[in-house]
Structure 1
């Protein structure tokens, strides 16, 4: 029995809808918006009866409580210490789904109380939901429960994989939660599902049957930075996120006139501009953060926005506000005051200052300083000679900007660069001297015929 994968490409995660064969369904690791699960279930004549967690999530707000509001039973590890009604299970416990059974396998590592779920039909194993304990080509990182526990949990992960998961049949399907594009994962391939045998043979963490020290060294070497909101969501998921109920999301996005926006800014609100970067480049509110609405909007919103301050949005009428709210709520950004009514033109018409931030082509990168704000792994794979480097997430965290003159900011496409440039401009108080490169290092090399440098 193959579960239905519900993939969030922006977060790089998969949830699973499992048809129980009796008009009911179970959902594994649901994200906050219940509609992808209830919608798919409804089209198949199913009711979601179980909402099952492998672990306390750091990268998204759990959707179990939304599904529970519709009658589902929440099932999670007892050690997760959830502060809301649920069925807590221990290692070896079995949850009868009405013919099918989920058996809890304690697999600490990614989180201290992580469990994998072995799906059985009677005594016949059908597959295993591994959460972050084993992903395709890697496993999920062990430093999210506190950096001081990284090594301890990495060693626990070694034992979880070697003694528990690899003891399962080679042909058994592996259904992970984390996958390509997830900041929770390490060394993941482009695939989202696998088998135990394929992971034994091809997972870089497991090649050569490593001892514990070798495994830990391989695993922790793959850790890069992760979004700032990862540090707060586990606590919020344990305590129990707010339930919105139906219709979802019950969160309005009122139009705010210019005076209302000015009042909010005076009281500490922040402006997030979700328009495409070419529109932001032509004109935006001073001090606003560019975060173009796309699959990764929510991840970067959670990383660069201050969770203690209300958000005022700038969006255009042709943008999908429902998708914007879905992503914001998925990463726990709920204090959204509204949108600037009339957009940037209303702001300009009221006589207020509008800033610009030029977009330039790669072949225009010449004499100015270059600031590359990609992740370390991207930078090391190839960058412009003599470019300075600091990750976008570090800029959001207050890192010093290593350039001060006329600066071209670049990433892989331009969206992250515009976010970075907007943060730098906000810190400086103006955007003069900043330009954003609409292209990648590879585009620059192709356009100029020059070689990139690699390595740290």
Structure 2
């Protein structure tokens, strides 16, 4: 194992135990970490594009962000490494990542040192070919490991993001990477980047304060000792993932514009919005689903502002397409922030509300909303209940007689052959998206208010 020369001068006395602060991103179900390394400095692991939360935390605890470490080239969000570099931080990237912007390469066995603290790189390919994990060492002893998309609490990162041709090869690499990580001491804390709810996962469980020792006991993938069996079990956890994933790794390699260099999205009057949509822009209504249902510009796709907003934006709108948002006030600013988190920078907003659209005499649409009991009555009369949840949700609980088509399949063009459809999901947001898309294809569709949660609360039958 080759250690690099210290990249910063060692402290005169042993630094205190490094503090690790996790920062969870609800929108994309990921974690970044700010690690105190002594001398009033900190290192950030896998920062998202918006550096604000990390910078505010650093100011709160009185440290300067001296460096960032990337575990891999991300497919689900724009890296914030360049944002921190613009503020003076050093940036360390796996040497095989082939990024085109200024950085320092890190290879297997290298140590990035900060006094008594070091981050030792471990080659852990699988989730991506260039993947590294970083073992946090203090005074030469391993304390924690930042596992990125390799070892996840209760599971592992998926290996199919580069396509079917490399899935098996990378699954075998993931098997070997997890075998390597499980050799670390029991007490080493585990800090993955991807968390429960991320589409980058094959599977996961919940363990409080996970360690290598707890993962050996609770992670079923670590109990598998055969590559073929491991690969089969890993692939069983693969679900569908947003379409933008196929583009974002190339974006992260090339580098995006800094947020400070992006202009605020222009506010367009309704007539200008119509012209832009005729040229190919997509009108996305980020208002609550009831407001969308009561009245929305004809052709506007519902994607209510919520933590899942960016994932579904990146699923329903082809990457690189202009997006025009319908949102007001603070919701508008948050929708813009979330869109830019996944590289959707070509943004505009509707100037005024839907009333401004109506005042111009432009066409609007409404979508019928049904309570669970109304939906059940319609089903008995012949309407088709359409479940647009993910396969894994459908496998756990379903409404008897419902047709199942994932929202991603509907986005891809699949359409139920039925005269009347009632769309539903877990709570109503994804089914509103589906309803809008199906309406554009001429399907008569209603949205089930509250989804399966409301159906269960109403005491209506389910299967599990």
What range is the shorter-chain TM-score in?
A: over 0.9
* Residues 259 and 443 of structure 1, relative CA distance in 2, 3 Å threshold: closer
Match of 2:200 in 1: 184
Q: CA deviation at 1:107?
A: 0.4
Q: CA deviation at 1:439?
A: 2.4
Runs of 4+ in 1 over 2 A off after TM superposition: 190-193, 306-309, 319-322, 439-450
Among 295, 304, 310, the residue aligned to 1:292 = 304
* Residues 448 and 99 of structure 1, relative CA distance in 2, 3 Å threshold: closer
Q: 2:427–2:452: 8 Å Cα contact kept in structure 1? A: no
**TM-score, normalised relative to structure 1:** 0.94
Q: CA deviation at 1:389?
A: 1.1
Look up the SS of the partner of 1:117 in the other structure. Answer: strand
Aligned equivalents of 2:207, 2:216: Cα separation in 1: 15
Verify: 1:369 aligned to 2:369, yes or no: no
Aligned equivalents of 1:129, 1:192: Cα separation in 2: 16
Match of 2:439 in 1: 425
Q: 1:51–1:74: 8 Å Cα contact kept in structure 2? A: yes
Aligned equivalents of 1:323, 1:130: Cα separation in 2: 29
Match of 1:107 in 2: 124
Look up the SS of the partner of 2:176 in the other structure. Answer: helix
Aligned equivalents of 2:298, 2:208: Cα separation in 1: 41
- What is the correspondence of 1:276-355 to structure 2 with a 5 Å cutoff? 276-317=288-329, 319-336=330-347, 338-355=348-365
* Residues 242 and 192 of structure 1, relative CA distance in 2, 3 Å threshold: farther
**TM-score, normalised relative to structure 2:** 0.92
Q: CA deviation at 1:404?
A: 2.5
Aligned equivalents of 1:3, 1:93: Cα separation in 2: 21
Q: 1:174–1:195: 8 Å Cα contact kept in structure 2? A: yes
Aligned equivalents of 1:315, 1:244: Cα separation in 2: 20
Match of 1:152 in 2: 169
Look up the SS of the partner of 2:144 in the other structure. Answer: strand
- Over residues 430-449 of structure 1, what are the superposed CA-to-partner deviations in whole Å (9 max), with x where a residue is unaligned? xx621000123354245254
Among 90, 95, 98, the residue aligned to 2:112 = 95
Among 86, 89, 102, the residue aligned to 1:85 = 102
Structure 2, unpaired ranges of 5+? 1-17
Aligned equivalents of 1:370, 1:382: Cα separation in 2: 14
Aligned equivalents of 2:209, 2:133: Cα separation in 1: 14
Q: 1:382–1:453: 8 Å Cα contact kept in structure 2? A: yes
Among 387, 395, 413, the residue aligned to 1:380 = 395
Moved more, 293-302 or 257-266: 257-266
Aligned equivalents of 1:70, 1:147: Cα separation in 2: 39
Q: CA deviation at 1:381?
A: 1.2
Match of 2:229 in 1: 214
Among 169, 183, 208, the residue aligned to 2:185 = 169
Aligned equivalents of 1:183, 1:191: Cα separation in 2: 19
Aligned equivalents of 2:217, 2:201: Cα separation in 1: 19
Aligned equivalents of 2:122, 2:303: Cα separation in 1: 40
Q: 1:270–1:311: 8 Å Cα contact kept in structure 2? A: yes
How many pairs does the alignment contain? 442
Aligned equivalents of 1:374, 1:262: Cα separation in 2: 31
- Over residues 366-418 of structure 1, what are the superposed CA-to-partner deviations in whole Å (9 max), with x where a residue is unaligned? 331111000001111121222111111121122x2123311100000000000
Structure 1, unpaired ranges of 5+? none
Match of 1:116 in 2: 133
Q: CA deviation at 1:363?
A: 1.1
Match of 1:129 in 2: 146
Q: 1:369–1:403: 8 Å Cα contact kept in structure 2? A: no
Match of 2:218 in 1: 202
* Residues 34 and 339 of structure 1, relative CA distance in 2, 3 Å threshold: same
Q: CA deviation at 1:177?
A: 0.4
Verify: 1:236 aligned to 2:251, yes or no: yes
Match of 1:405 in 2: 419
- What is the correspondence of 1:52-63 to structure 2 with a 5 Å cutoff? 52-63=69-80
Moved more, 276-285 or 42-51: 42-51
Q: 2:69–2:93: 8 Å Cα contact kept in structure 1? A: yes
Q: 2:326–2:350: 8 Å Cα contact kept in structure 1? A: yes
Aligned equivalents of 2:460, 2:361: Cα separation in 1: 46
Aligned equivalents of 2:334, 2:59: Cα separation in 1: 21
* Residues 426 and 306 of structure 1, relative CA distance in 2, 3 Å threshold: farther
- Over residues 179-216 of structure 1, what are the superposed CA-to-partner deviations in whole Å (9 max), with x where a residue is unaligned? 11111112212347510011111102123x43222111
- Over residues 328-376 of structure 1, what are the superposed CA-to-partner deviations in whole Å (9 max), with x where a residue is unaligned? 011111110x221121000111111110011111111133111100000
Q: 1:10–1:181: 8 Å Cα contact kept in structure 2? A: no
